Amino acid sequence: MAAGARRGPYICGIDAAMDVVSGKWKSLILWELHNHGARRFGELRRGLPGVSEKMLIQHLREMEEDGLVHREIYREVPPRVEYSLTEHGRSLNAALGALGDWGTARRARLADDGTLVST
């Protein structure tokens, strides 16, 4: 895990949950693994334009330690590593569904107002 273990104390449940999904890429990693199943590192990186290799490695390690992601190493030549969601990760992804719905509604409101910034 990153320096300084993330194990509380927490003020409330939202505090504990946000500790696990903090960072720009973690929720997107959850989404990518949910929508595409097990992915190799390169596939994840291509599916998340803009993420650096260092940041993806860091987030995957933290998510593995938090029990959200399973890392499977296949003993073959060349070695193959795949990442997939654990049951704990799938339950977090389900919990984030309402937040995603809220974000979709926000995007629609911003588009209607003409204030949505396009990439």
Mean pLDDT calculated for residue range 93-112: 90
Q: What are the pLDDT digits (tens) for 25-66? A: 999 999 999 999 999 999 999 999 999 999 999 999 999 999
pLDDT at 5 over 50: yes
* Residue with token string 């330690």: 65
pLDDT at 2 over 50: no
Mean pLDDT calculated for residue range 2-21: 76
pLDDT at 114 over 90: no
The model's pTM: 0.83
Nearest by Cα to 92 from 41, 29, 47: 29
Nearest by Cα to 8 from 66, 52, 50: 66
Chain centre to alpha carbon of residue 84:
11
Q: What are the pLDDT digits (tens) for 71-90? A: 999 999 988 999 999 999 99
